[in-house]
Copies of this chain bind each other. A is one copy, B any other.
């Protein structure tokens, strides 16, 4: 056992939902003492940095029940178990915005909240966008919003964009613009 590792003594399932599973683990700490860890399991998610030929990022406005408000995000969705992330990215982009892409390339990925959740989020960049009709899930209501890099950074500065994946996507886009890509 490494000097930082925690060893599972007992794992108690709490909740088995459609989106998350919750469990409480009793662990042995590196010093031999015990502690409990509250854990949320999630299959992971993908999101898409999509910039149109007109140089605008494609965002969606969506009501988020955990926040009890509507926020502005890059298109995203939950991975089905075993689903190829690139396939999921193409599906969510089409469903939420109507756009299809010639190419989808993974450009970043991170754990959203490693203190309590195992959710890993991929960011794909979509190239060669073609507009089509959105086909949202039956329980999904989204509006597409497009804005320039400057407008997006202004919205972020005003706190109107305050979602982890969207903040990272804006910096990725800014870096690409600065590199002339």
Q: A interface vs B, CB < 8 Å?
A: 2-6, 14-15, 17-20, 22, 24-25, 27, 29-31, 33, 35-42, 45, 61-67, 70-71, 73, 76, 78, 108-121, 138-139, 141-143, 159, 162-168, 171, 174-175, 178
Contact = CB atoms under 8 A, between A and B. Distances in A.
A45 B115 contact: yes
Contacts of A175: 171, 174
A141 B30 contact: yes
8 smallest A-B Cβ distances: which pairs? A171-B171, A35-B139, A37-B65, A112-B113, A66-B118, A64-B114, A17-B38, A164-B164
Interface centre among A6, A66, A70, by most B CB within 10 Å? A66
